[in-house]
């Protein structure tokens, strides 16, 4: 039984003249189902276009298409639906041990007369309304990270008795994400503005930062940094050596408190650690109970 409904092309006897190395012209015969093709060097854009087609002219569907920057808005997302979803998640967040430990660490271990924060920034939450599909609800994950950020910001505002400027940087943020953040008094910024705003009196939250982001934050030496454990990175030998030296230097100038786990399928909250400079707060390592 044939595997296709296409008609077979008839074979044609073709005569070709070939000039050999000795200068003689020889005539050869060959059978071919299609005329010979001419190989040409295509431009970069042409190569990209050709890679999307099979030899038969059928389009190839990409199994994992690249996610656009910024991420497209998921169908049905509005500022009102986002505010409502975040409000519900913030209530759940406030009931977690991690939330309570963050506030306790700030109040009892970090905040003294010396501690003053200039601004606050969060990096890499992911889009709150993007249309990409994942094995977990990334919107929920992003909202929980934002709730954690706001917990620390609000606590520091109470302790300092004045509002703080808050910023959020994420390459996948779209315009609706920006409106949502603005409704919470958080300003969306684009790379590298977030890093340029940091100084030695900043508070930074980087839930699951890549190595490059982690390194840039360490180089700024923020006063308070909520991050993951340094043991999560998998690097090559040269990168590992440079990263180890930078982290060792950072640890020498900072105290830290390990935060309790969040009982969610939420990778950014696994192994959370609060860091603060040694010239602030009560010295010593705090182990979460």
Per the structure, the complete domain to which residue 210 belongs is given by 79-231+239-277
Rounded to an integer, the average pLDDT of 73-83 is 96
Over pLDDT 90: what percentage of the chain?
52
Res. 233 pLDDT band, cuts 50 70 90 = low
Determine, yes or no, domain membership for 151. yes
C-alpha span between 270 and 228 (Å, rounded): 7
Q: Does the pLDDT of residue 180 top 90, yes or no?
A: yes
Give the per-residue pLDDT at 237: 58
pLDDT by residue (tens digit) across 181-223?
A: 999 999 999 999 999 999 999 999 998 788 889 999 999 999 9
Rounded to an integer, the average pLDDT of 256-275 is 83
Domain count, the chain: 1
What lies within 8 Å, CB to CB, of 212 at 6+ separation is: none
Determine, yes or no, domain membership for 35. no
b/e per residue 52-61 (b: at least 16 CB within 10 A) = eeeeeeeeee
Determine, yes or no, domain membership for 49. no
147-151, 162-166, 235-239: the lowest-pLDDT one:
235-239
Determine, yes or no, domain membership for 283. no
Give the per-residue pLDDT at 142: 93
Angle between helices 138-160 and 97-105 (to 10 degrees): 30
Give the per-residue pLDDT at 287: 47
Determine, yes or no, domain membership for 57. no
Res. 115 pLDDT band, cuts 50 70 90 = confident
What lies within 8 Å, CB to CB, of 235 at 6+ separation is: 211, 243
Over pLDDT 70: what percentage of the chain?
66
Determine, yes or no, domain membership for 285. no
Rg (CA), the chain: 29
Secondary structure class of 160 (helix, strand, coil): helix
Give the per-residue pLDDT at 35: 41
Give the per-residue pLDDT at 148: 96
Q: pLDDT averaged over the chain?
A: 77
Determine, yes or no, domain membership for 5. no
Q: Does the pLDDT of residue 99 top 70, yes or no?
A: yes
C-beta of residue 176 within 8 angstroms of C-beta of residue 80 = no
What lies within 8 Å, CB to CB, of 32 at 6+ separation is: 11, 12, 14
**pLDDT greater at residue 30 or residue 152:** 152
CATH at residue 97:
3.40.50
C-alpha span between 283 and 256 (Å, rounded): 9
């Amino acid at each position: 039984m044939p595997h296709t409904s296409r008609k077979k092309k008839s074979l044609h006897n073709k005569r070709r003249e070939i000039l050999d190395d000795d200068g003689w012209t020889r005539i050869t015969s060959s059978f071919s189902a299609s005329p010979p093709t001419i190989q040409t060097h295509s431009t970069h854009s042409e190569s990209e276009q050709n890679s999307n087609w099979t030899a038969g002219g059928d389009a190839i569907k990409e199994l994992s298409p690249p996610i656009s920057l910024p991420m497209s808005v998921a169908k049905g997302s509005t500022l009102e639906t986002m505010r409502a979803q975040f409000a519900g998640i913030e209530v759940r967040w406030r009931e977690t041990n991690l939330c309570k430990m963050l506030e306790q660490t700030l109040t009892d271990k970090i905040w003294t007369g010396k501690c003053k924060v200039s601004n606050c920034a969060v990096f890499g939450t992911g889009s709150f309304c993007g249309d990409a599909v994942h094995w977990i609800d990334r919107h929920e994950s992003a909202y929980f990270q934002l709730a954690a950020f706001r917990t620390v910001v609000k606590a520091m505002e109470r302790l300092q008795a004045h509002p703080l400027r808050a910023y959020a940087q994420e390459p996948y943020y779209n315009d609706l994400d920006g409106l949502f953040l603005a409704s919470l008094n958080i300003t969306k910024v684009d790379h590298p503005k977030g890093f340029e705003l940091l100084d030695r009196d900043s508070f930074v939250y980087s839930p699951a930062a890549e190595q490059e982001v982690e390194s840039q934050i360490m180089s700024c030496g923020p006063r308070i940094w909520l991050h993951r454990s340094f043991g999560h990175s998998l690097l090559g030998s040269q990168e590992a050596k440079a990263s180890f030296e930078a982290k060792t230097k950072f640890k020498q100038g900072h105290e830290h408190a390990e935060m309790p786990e969040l009982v969610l399928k939420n990778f950014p909250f696994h192994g959370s650690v609060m860091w603060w400079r040694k010239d602030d707060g009560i010295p010593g390592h705090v182990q979460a109970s």
